């Protein structure tokens, strides 16, 4: 992801979420050098992912596929790619938050081995107030380059 991608990334964010990140958050993610990727089919951007890897941990901040392209396996492919990058950067554990109401995302993360480790009360905004976040974690096995 580059600054040139931000208008498209922001449009995907707005299409996917009722309470999207603002554009400045994406700018900050690039500024602090988080791993920011854009998913493309041909020349069409259909999603993005943002992670931070530090002190042996990965935090998945945002994994988003445009609603038109969801339920086709692209989120799973992106998640696996982000986790591979985390392993390459020596992360031992990956963490993320997911809306308590987002059953499809929770099913994806569960199928990929994530386990619930906690709840952040009133973490996400909603139309009528706030919603809890489920905190998930995955122990990452190191990549064995000798296989």
The residues that are catalytic are 97, 109
Q: Is 72 annotated as a binding residue?
A: yes
**In whole angstroms, how far apart are CA 72 and each of 12, 65, 113, 127, 137?**
16, 10, 19, 28, 24
Q: Is 118 annotated as a binding residue?
A: no
Ligand-binding site membership of 56 (annotated): no
Q: Is 146 annotated as a binding residue?
A: no
Distance between CA 105 and CA 83 in Å, rounded? Answer: 16
Tokens of 85: 């990058």
Distance CA 101, CA 48 (A): 21
User: Is 129 known to sit in a ligand binding site?
Assistant: no
- Binding site membership for acetyl-CoA: which residues? 71-76, 102
- Binding site membership: which residues? 71-76, 102
């Amino acid at each position: 992801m580059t600054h040139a991608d931000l208008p498209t990334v922001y449009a995907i964010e707005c299409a996917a979420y009722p309470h999207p990140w603002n554009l400045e958050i994406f700018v900050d993610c690039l500024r602090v050098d988080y791993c920011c990727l854009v998913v493309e089919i041909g020349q069409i951007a259909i999603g993005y992912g943002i992670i931070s890897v530090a002190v042996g941990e990965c935090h998945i901040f945002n994994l988003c596929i445009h609603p038109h392209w969801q339920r086709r396996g692209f989120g799973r492919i992106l998640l696996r790619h982000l986790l591979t990058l985390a392993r390459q950067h020596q992360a031992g554990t990956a963490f993320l938050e997911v809306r308590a109401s987002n059953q499809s995302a929770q099913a994806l993360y569960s199928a990929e081995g994530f386990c619930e480790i906690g709840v952040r009360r009133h973490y996400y905004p909603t139309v009528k107030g706030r919603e809890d976040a489920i905190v998930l974690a995955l122990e990452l096995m190191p990549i064995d380059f000798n296989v």
